Every structure is written in structure tokens, then in C-alpha cells.
Amino acid sequence: MNFLRTPSKTLAASALLAFILLLGSRTSWAVEIQKVVSSEGIEAWLVEDHTVPLVALNFSFDGGSSQDPVGKAGLTRLLAATLDEGSGDLSSEDYQARLEELAISVGFSTGKDRFYGNLRTLTRTLPEAAEMLATALNAPRFDAAPVERMKTSLITQARRNETSPDAIAGRTLAEAVFGDHPYARPTLGTEETLETLSSEDLGAQKSKLIAKSGLKVGVVGAIDAETLKPLLDQVFGGLPDNADLQSISDLTPETGDDVHAFLEVPQTTVLVSLPGLKRDDPDYQAAYVMNHILGGGSFTSWMYQEVREKRGLSYGAGTSLSPYKHTGLLIGSAATKAERSDETVEVIRAQLKRMAEQGPTQAELESAKRYITGSYPLRFDSSGKIASQLVALQNADLGMDYFDRRNSEIEAVTLEDVNRVAQRLFAGVEPTIIQVGPNGQATD
């Protein structure tokens, strides 16, 4: 869903809520995936389910905000905000009114590596919904007034980020670990870069990114393969065959920096980063289990127990894996009293060292695996979640059978695997430390 919502967009989306909630009550879903290929060669993965008259369609294209030209950071984010602001013969107001009238939801977003879109519609309005999405992708208007409105919204957000400790910490971390790589550019952009963007820039970026060559599609709901095939051609068949993307190099994140950014706030935000793994790394599942024990397991994780429960340094502390197409990160985070930020960093460092040198117990490993496998069905409790998962599997090239084999891969992780990947990620590597706050000085 587009992150910038007008009232009409919100109303259109809310009209589908009752149907989505019906799907949300499921405790499990036997996911049977069909590969559907249209007459024009558009491929989609389909999970057919006629429980409710709803269709969810998710898709992505190669190339996200890392494709922003130098000096135009935020362009792809603005593109995501404006694609559904009028297309074909419909102005922005008319397009949004039509979505509301038909209870159709269309939205776009971007990450570093890919550009995303989604459609939610009732089956009775599927033909109209397909036409609305097709015109947004093939004939967006980029009229001056809605473009300026969306630019203003993004600029306002960028200004807020200048005084947000979390945003400052994230930007500072990206600059420290990514250097001059395109990943270092802020996805949102800055006030200065956003001000320079034009409708012409949006048209050029749309032509670069939105093409059949990098397209992945996932569809879930009350639709069969034969009905889906012409819809795929209608929506995507008119796109250019090939995207025009700049080459992005792989990189190893920089480590060892210790950066303090001053901000007059009561608490200090702490980020700790080390190189992680890309999703296609053979050690990824072992790293996923290891991270759950270290800091991804909420109340049971080492970070939570040591930082919050034992020392009361923060309301919460954790770690996460961030796999990108060209690199990977492991990031730890906490927010603490300014005068205790250095202590918090040392506790986090100690848990990284503990994981590398001692590793977890067998009981901790088994508990983590039970939670990870047991919670997996929560990713399939709505049609939208399943459609998103179908696209994610294709993006990561995990295969159509991944849903069936995923839990067995987790269960197969051994203590030796966890210890090996912990050594690989943490041994002999100095993390990058970011602290944003009043420079460790106590505040009233």
C-alpha cells in the first residue's frame, strides 16, 4: 500500500477490510501453488482459493531506490507515491474517486533493490480493477498538482527525519557501512534532492524500472488460471520488454566505526552493525536461527534478557538480519538513558562475543526452532500476506516448493551450524557503532 494516503485512498482500502478479516481468522492454509503463464509470456504464481470473493495481486520489478540517479535521491519513492495519482483519461481526483466507488485498492512502494505494487479487489470488480492497475503502470499522468502535493508530503517527512533519532541513526549507519555505494543514498531522499524532482524525472524513472524483464507476480484468491492469463496480459503485457538499469556492485559493509551524532533528546539511540548474509547464502537458515537466539526472539533473546531484564538499560533490545541483493547486514538496536549508552553498547558487544565464543545451549537451539517453525503459519493468515510471500520467494529464487521445505530446513539446523555461522559473522570483526543523543551527557 502506498505510504502516502489521501482520504479517498483510505476509504477504498477499508471497504475490503471485512473480507480480509475473514481470511485472517484462519489458523493454517494448505498452500498449493500453480505456475501460470499468459499468452504473452507473463508468469505468475497463483494460489487459488474461493473461500471469499476477493483477489490479491502483488508484484515487483528489479531496481528500487538504489537506481535513483546521483543527486536525485527519493525519485523512486516519489514514483511510488504518484503512479496512482491519475492515469490515462482520469485525473488524480477522478482516479481516486473511481477506486473508492469500486472498493479497489492499488498501491506502490519501493525498497533498495526492488519496486513493489499490489492490487486488492472483489471478484465482481476484477475487470475494472485490472484496468485501473494497467493504466497506472502503462499510462501514468504525473500531472503537476498531484506531483507537487506528494513532493510536499515527502519533504515534510524528510524534515521530520532531521530531528528523529531513529532516522538520524539509520542514515548515519548507512553512510558508515555503505560508503559511496548506492545503498547509502536515503530511499526517502532529502529536502534538497526532493525539491529538484520533476514530472519528467518521474517519467524517465518509470521507463527505466517498469518492464517485463524484472517482473515477479503473485496472485491469491477467487480466480482460476484461465481467468488470470488474460488479466496478466492486460496489466503487464504492454510494458517494455527490458528495464534500463545501472549496474550495482556487490559490497562488503565497512566495520569498526564508532560514530556519535549529537541530538538534544532525553535518550540515546544505539545501533550496532556487522556484515550479514545475502538470502542465497547456504548459511542463511543457520544464521536466522542464531539471530533468533541472539536478539530476534523478543522476550527470550539474549539481547532482551541482558539489556532489559537484568540491567534495565532499555525497554527493548534486539537484532535483525537485513539481506539485500548485493550485501547483507546484521543490526542490533536499543534506546537508553544518555548516561548509560556506553554501558548498553558494551553489553551488546558482550553478547556478540558470547555467541562467537560460547554459542547457545542445545535447549536454547531447540526452543528457537520450535518457535520459528510454529509461528510460520502466521505468514499465511490473509490473502495479501500469501501474495506477498509468493513474490518474495520468486525475488529470492527460493523455488515453488519452499513453503513445504522451509520448516524442515529450520529443523535441520544443528548446534554445529549455529556455532559455525556465529564464528563466521562475529569472530575477529569489530562492529560499527552508532549513537545518536546528547553525547552521553546526563539529561534531566
Q: Which of 387, 394, 323 is nearest to 1 (CA)?
A: 387
Among 323, 381, 327, 436, residue whose Cα is nearest residue 25: 381
Find out whether 202 and 147 touch, Cβ atoms under 8 Å. yes
* Residue-level pLDDT at 28: 43
Residue 194's Cβ-count burial label (10 Å; 0-12, 13-18, 19+) is: buried
Residues 42 and 237 sit within 8 Å (Cβ to Cβ): yes
Q: Do 22 and 53 form a contact (C-beta atoms < 8 A)? A: no
Phi, psi of 71 (to 5 degrees): 85, 0
Report DSSP letters for 288-334, one per residue.
Answer: HHHHIIIIISGGGSHHIIIIIITT---S-EEEEEEE-SS-EEEEEEE
| CB-CB contact of 177 with 254 (8 Å) | yes
User: Which residue spans of the chain are classified as CATH 3.30.830.10?
Assistant: 7-236, 258-437
pLDDT (0 to 100) of residue 439? 67
Name the burial class of residue 48, with classes exposed (0-12), middle (13-18) and buried (19+) by CB atoms within 10 angstroms of its CB.
Answer: middle
Whether domain 258-437 has CATH 3.30.830.10: yes
Strands 216-221 and 267-275 turn out to be unpaired
Sign of the torsion formed by the C-alpha atoms of 401, 404, 410 and 412: negative
* pTM given for the model: 0.91
With cell 503459519, the residue in question is: 377
Residue 381: the pLDDT is: 86
Q: Which amino acid appears at position 169 of this protein?
A: A
Beta bridge partners of 52: none
**CA separation (Å) from 312 to 269, 298, 303, 344?**
15, 15, 12, 10
Q: What is the DSSP letter of 416?
A: H
**In whole angstroms, what is the distance from residue 29 CA to residue 23 CA?**
10
Largest CA distance in the chain: 68
Say which CATH superfamily domain 7-236 falls into.
Answer: Metalloenzyme, LuxS/M16 peptidase-like (3.30.830.10)
What's the CA gap between 217 and 196, in Å, rounded? 33
Q: Which residues of the chain have pLDDT under 70?
A: 1-30, 439-444
Q: pLDDT value at position 332?
A: 98
At 30 the pLDDT is 63
Confidence (pLDDT) at 31: 82
Question: How confident is the model over 81-97, as pLDDT tens digits?
Answer: 999 999 999 999 999 99
How does pLDDT run across 325-377, given as a tens digit for each residue? 999 999 999 999 999 999 999 999 999 999 999 999 999 999 999 999 999 99
Q: Which residues of 168-185 are buried (b: 16+ CB within 10 A; e: fewer)?
A: bbbbbbbbbbbeebbbbb
pLDDT at 27: 36
**What span, in angstroms and rounded, lies between the C-alpha atoms of 163 and 353?**
33
Contacts of 130 (CB under 8 A, 6+ apart): 119, 231, 234, 235
The single-letter DSSP state of residue 430 is P
